[in-house]
Amino acid sequence: MRTLCWLTLALLLPGCGERGSAPAQPPTPYVLVLGTAQDAGFPQIGADHRLARRARRDPTLRRHVASLLICDPRDGKRWLIDATPDLPAQVETARGHPVTRKPPGPRPPLFEGIFLTHAHMGHYSGLLHLGREAYGANRVPVYGSPKMVDFLENNAPWSLLVRLGNIELIPLGVGEGRQLQPELTIRTLAVPHRAEFTDTYGFIVEGPERSLLYIPDIDKWELWDRRIEDVLKDVDYALLDGTFYADGEIPGRSMADIPHPFIEESMRRLAPLPASERAKVYFTHLNHTNTAGDPNGAAAARVRRAGFHIAYDGLILGL
């Protein structure tokens, strides 16, 4: 009942359901979507297709790399999930979130902590902006899997951030959680994804009233050791891997080399679920070729008709 009430309310609150005017900040913990694009952003380097050309002409169509900001207006604290190549712009997007934030000192901490999913370029390369050439952060806690922590600690240039005290690495095991605030926690989920350097985590964020699942990258749902349908039952929102809409959308490359569940596949799999379950799903991490990234396009319309959502930069989801 709680979920249904919130989903009904979301239709009435700007920014909580579909793309609209600037949303008001909730008075309780919430998540701000800082980006919804695949690792290389949108438009992507060198792309010359119709969607990319439109986005270069119209800045409102551009999307930052997938990332979330967890905000607690009760005392102004906030935490980042994934440090992307777009971190400087995303810090500006996050300015004033939450409205109660009043960090001390001439060089205040940008975040109370950063949680990393894995070591692909769009998810951790933004840490470089915390170094002495840029912000010069002071011991920002950075959480990741033990393999993620080991990778950062033992590979340059990330190891310099550790040695100079810009970041402090904290390993989290599978299923391990952290209490960020009273009634605000985050815990890890291991998901199968290309492991060239590290393994991959998803996260579940639990607030006073609602919870959110975040899995921007997974190889295929059927390769996971659990059913996504079962995980959906226990959360109120699910921001899921929507990298590609359909097979064959990248000319000249085998999509088997970059496995993700196509949005078409996910919608077919989840179609038997009740409407209230499907309405929890927001597809994110959209590649530049993904036509569902055009909010006025046919693919996005099909997603909405099927009862799902396409996440967008600036979306607010209350916890």
Neighbours of 126 (CB within 10 A): 23
Report which of 69, 18, 84, 35 is spatially closest to residue 313, judged by C-alpha positions: 35
| CATH number assigned to the domain covering 21-318 | 3.60.15.10
- C-beta of residue 158 within 8 angstroms of C-beta of residue 151: yes
Neighbours of 110 (CB within 10 A): 19
Q: Spell out the domain ranges in the chain.
A: 21-318
Report which of 125, 70, 64 is spatially closest to residue 90, judged by C-alpha positions: 64
- C-beta of residue 146 within 8 angstroms of C-beta of residue 154: no
Q: Mind listing the pLDDT tens digit of every residue in the chain (319 residues)?
A: 333 333 333 433 334 545 555 568 899 999 999 999 999 999 999 999 888 899 899 988 899 999 999 999 999 999 999 999 999 999 999 999 999 999 778 889 999 999 999 999 999 999 999 999 999 999 999 999 999 999 999 999 999 999 999 999 999 999 999 999 999 999 999 999 999 999 999 999 999 999 999 999 999 999 999 999 999 999 999 999 999 999 888 777 777 778 899 999 999 999 999 999 999 999 999 999 999 999 999 999 999 999 999 999 999 999 9
* Helix or strand holding residue 196 (H, E): none
Model pTM? 0.92
| Cα–Cα distance measured from residue 101 to residue 23, given in angstroms and rounded to the nearest whole number | 18
